[in-house]
Structure 1
Amino acid sequence: MKWVNEILHRVTAKSRVERLQLHEWSEDSFNQMIIQYVKQEPTIATMVGWSIRDAYETVCGDGN
């Protein structure tokens, strides 16, 4: 739960930084950070992967 919470905090922070254009926060840097959290607790990998795919499909459409 700790690592999922950390990811949620970073997603919120990234959204704020992007919206307010506070500074550069590259997608690669953000992705690497998420990967590091998943490496800390591999049991969350499926849940995190599903969340990313679901969010992407919600924003971009899933082609159905």
Structure 2
Amino acid sequence: MKGDCIVKKLALILVIIGAINWGLIGLFQFDLVATIFGGGSQEGAFARVIYTIVGIAGLVSIAFLFDSNKE
């Protein structure tokens, strides 16, 4: 069960990072992930890896909606 908790926390952290990044894009047209990992371009290979990992974390987080465990 401890590993499950680590996965949940990691997914939540990644979803929060994604949400902050989207907020920055929406408010200031500034993509923090692309700036840090792709040299300011969303086409950077490493930035695309980060986007993919954050997207997977979002999909994993969908399961939290249906999780009946109260931690």
Tell me the TM-score normalized by structure 1: 0.40
Higher CA-based Rg: 2
